[in-house]
Chains A and B, each alone.
Chain A
Amino acid sequence: MASLTINGTVHEVDVEPDTPLLWVIREQVGLTGTKYSCGIAQCGACTVHVDGVATRSCTLPVSAVTPEQRIVTIEGLSPDGSHPVQKAWLELDVPQCGYCQTGQIMAAAALLQANPQPSDEDITVEMTNICRCGTYNRIKAAIKLAANGGAIRG
């Protein structure tokens, strides 16, 4: 059994302690916006926030997360897609297949939380998620748009 605080709700889940947080979120909790792609912390498709920090959930065993830690998934980033990063993504029509995009958005939201006015260099250093469709230039532009659009909520 593990107790997890996800998007403000406490979930009691019956899983083996070494189960990656990603699969607990997807299978036990049933939130599928967080994606599986590599399972070895290479691609970032599984990015969630743990206490505000972008975290690749596919290699984080659920036993390493305490009930007090605040986990936020894409479903909890905003109630209705209104987070500045989501709005900027919509404005610039960033996604292609979209599979990597929830992870990209979570990574970008954490970046802007820590660094509200990132330089190009800051963005390329922090944004290491893979996008096989190659939306990188629009992602970069959308992060800048979000940064210039006002305050970023946590």
Chain B
Amino acid sequence: MTSALDISRRNFFVSSAATVGGLALGFHIPFAEAAAAETASEVNAWVVVKPDDTVVIRIARVEMGQGTLTGLAQLVAEELDCDWSKVTTEYPTPGQNVARSRIWGNFQTAGSRGIRDSHDYVRQGGAAARHMLIQAAAGEWNAPAAECSVSNGVITHGPSGRSTTYGKVATAAAKLEAPKEVQLKDPKDWKIAGKPLKRLDTAEKLTGKQVYSIDVKLPGMLNAAVKDCPVFGGKLKSFDAAAVQGMPGVKKVVTVGDTGVAVVADTWWRAKTALDALPIEWDEGPNATMSSDSIAAMLEEGLNATQAFVGNQSGDVQGAIAGAAKTVEAVYSVPYQHHATMEPMNATAVWTTDRCQVWTATQNAEAALATAANAAGLPIPQCDVYRLHLGGGFGRRSTSHDFVRQAVLIAKEMPGTPVKLIWSREEDMLHGYYHPITKAKMAGALDANGNLVGLRMRISGQSILASVRPEGLQNGRDPATFQGLNPSGTEGVFGYSIPNLLIDHAMRNPPVPPGFWRGVNNNQNAIYVECFMDELAHAAGQDPLEFRRKLMANHPKHLAVLNAVAERAGWGTPAPQGIYRGLAQHMGYGSYVAACAEVSVDDSGILKIHRIVAATNCGHAVNPQQIEAQVEGSFAFGLTALLYGEITLKDGRIEQENFDSYQIMRMDEMPKVESIIMPSGDFWGGVGEPTIFVAAPAVLNAIFAATGKRIRSVPLAKADLRKA
């Protein structure tokens, strides 16, 4: 059966049309569709047109639920002026990108950058293709291109009234030279972009037809289950393969690097069953006694350490605190979080001495390719990675491709045989790249009139870059720690003008792998700043909105979203009986966001979050209904973290192994979310993450309003919310 799988890609396309060895290759092979239709023409890298006028738009970034696939297609289609109902999409592979000098640019889909980083060149791709298609029609008619116009993929020659379609001229267009320069439309004139269109990927997700990476089937494929040392930094000592070799379906027991062991079997369930029965001994290494307590002690030391990296500084904060009429101090803590994508990590690999191919769900296919090539021991041009839509990413599938490395190492033990590696939920929980742990010590100085004249913020805790991308450090300093706290820039500017300010970071890196987690460091920074602003306002005897407004005159975009939620929520007017409100604002990933939460807390301390009003200024809104979906989803994600999210450690390992001990918010706790989308049209900001920042602080401030209790250590699951 194995021999039926020819690993050269062209042959693979051919065989993919058939069923081989009784197994249907029921998934989308990149470019297979276009390649199969011999007559489909690649007008340029972004646009392929078929004779039936179908337009295949190539998407470099990946779809993981955030709607980028549809948004990017809208941008290309807008400039192309094609018929939206005939648009389909496909992913180029990172191998093709390498072979074509990175013609599709960056594949990374993280940092809410899918659209804001690539809108210009994908729109140019659409505009260039449009130009070439018109040129081709004009050529056929021997008419000047300037006399031709296009609408919905139909090209018309004004003077003669002749018309043709993109499908008819695509072959000729593909032979033309690309224009040197193209004019992009003014967003005011958009007809496809900027509209609340339906997603392109919905129908298949409703019938089970959508093939995720975990669903990949290849002829002769085997399945693998893996266990890596549960203690961070530990190694595999020994295992007794003989104990499981005779179990049903088992083919082979293999070591995976020097830290893991995998069972390969005919089915995954049999592989996992045998793995669970496999006697394994671990060398737990130097971190075997690490616990949440030891990590907390490390961070507490950092709160008062003399050495720290400065993020934002002005004036003389010590002097301001010394001379203050009133000072306020508080310490906040935010724990480790796990991504918990619904689709656990997995990858399918097939390896031979001269080629390695991988099918997986990745937020950064180029990094996945580099990881695969490295594990395969082959040059990059002899490897490739085929992408499938992700069953959730949230940063986990961009931080590390450890699952790809494992899949390739396992496949290498079985040359020519495709092997699908799936992590059990338990393996997935134990081997995450966790939202980093931090604490913050806040001190504020108020003058006699209740004005905030000084703010001191000391962050103590883990750096993501130090572990994941050390080359991103600046003389040891992790600039990403200060997301949303920066004095200037376009990513995340601190929204308050305070004459005496010092924000710094005592980097303390416990040996727990950190990762980018939807919202990243903005999440805790917004809790620290926005909850403390609330504390200061109350200490000053002022309304939290008015108190903030006085500090925000130099930050009109920050203020505009805050004002928008306050107005919509009716801030300053009485809330319904028993309901209390809280506010928060923050800027990150280029966008300005704010929220007003409405909550109640009953006598037994049960919290109900009734309503969230959220505003976002993301500059340009490419698909407003999808932005609304992202805003709603970001609150589910942010409120899950607030209510339940906590990863703890004992004996060097993670204690939460599944959704019973790592709870995810469900429908009964989901508040009503009202989105205000207010794009100002003068910049491009992100959408997938920003509103998550304000979820927790708005609710925490509302809880204070309801109970008089200031919760400074989350999640709420461990807090007593009964009235003080």
Contact = CB atoms under 8 A, between A and B. Distances in A.
A93 interface: yes
B425 A98 contact: no
B208 A40 contact: no
A42 B635 CA distance: 21
Given A97-B390, A99-B392, A100-B342, A134 B205 contact: no
Contacts of B660: 40, 42
A6 B634 CA distance: 37
Nearest to B266: A27
A101 B199 contact: no
B677 to A, nearest CB: 16
Contact of A134 (B215, B248, B422, B636): B636
A33 interface: yes
Please provide the 6 A-B residue pairs with the shortest distance between their CB atoms, ordered closest to farther: A33-B208, A134-B636, A99-B391, A97-B65, A98-B205, A96-B65
Q: Kindly name the residue among B268, B269, B389, B394 whose own CB sees the greatest number of chain A CB atoms within 10 A.
A: B269
Nearest to B635: A134
Contacts, number: 179
A112 interface: no
A92 to B, nearest CB: 9
A133 B633 contact: yes
B667 A124 contact: yes
Contact of A23 (B24, B67, B268, B625): B268
30 contacts: A20-B269, A27-B268, A32-B208, A32-B214, A32-B215, A36-B214, A74-B208, A75-B208, A86-B207, A90-B198, A90-B206, A95-B199, A95-B201, A96-B633, A97-B390, A97-B393, A101-B205, A105-B206, A127-B667, A130-B659, A131-B342, A132-B342, A132-B392, A133-B65, A133-B636, A134-B633, A134-B670, A135-B629, A135-B632, A136-B667
A98 to B, nearest CB: 3
A130 B391 CA distance: 13
A40 B659 contact: yes
Given A124-B667, A140-B667, A32 B211 contact: yes
A139 interface: yes
A118 to B, nearest CB: 12
B580 interface: no
Interface string A66-97: 00000001110110110000100110011111
Contacts of A16: 248, 270, 273
Given A42-B659, A98-B391, A135-B632, 19 more contacts: A19-B269, A30-B24, A32-B217, A39-B424, A40-B658, A74-B208, A95-B199, A96-B65, A96-B67, A96-B633, A97-B65, A98-B65, A129-B666, A130-B664, A135-B636, A136-B636, A136-B667, A137-B632, A138-B629
Interface residues of B, number: 64
A131 B636 contact: yes
Nearest to A103: B342
A147 interface: no
A37 B425 CA distance: 7
Contacts of B636: 131-136
A128 interface: yes
B140 interface: no
A33 B344 contact: no
B637 interface: yes
Given A32-B215, A43-B342, A45-B342, A93 B207 contact: no
A1 interface: no
Interface in A1-51: 16, 19-20, 23, 26-28, 30-40, 42-43, 45
Contacts of A77: 207
Nearest to B657: A40
Interface string B389-408: 11111100000000000000
Contacts of A137: 632, 670, 672-673
A73 B209 CA distance: 12
A136 B666 contact: yes
Contacts of B64: 97
Interface residues of A, number: 59
Nearest to B198: A93
Nearest to B426: A39
**Interface SS majority for chain A:** loop
Contacts of B268: 23, 27
B421 to A, nearest CB: 13
Interface in A94-128: 94-102, 105, 123-125, 127-128
A104 to B, nearest CB: 10
Contacts of B340: 132
A30 to B, nearest CB: 7
B668 A38 contact: no
Nearest to A74: B208
B343 A99 contact: yes
Nearest to A134: B636
B269 A27 contact: yes
Interface in B103-154: none
A146 B305 CA distance: 59
B716 to A, nearest CB: 18
A41 to B, nearest CB: 9
B519 to A, nearest CB: 13
Q: Kindly name the residue among A33, A45, A80, A96 whose own CB sees the greatest number of chain B CB atoms within 10 A.
A: A96
Contacts of B433: none
Contacts of B207: 33, 74-75, 77-78, 80-81, 86, 102
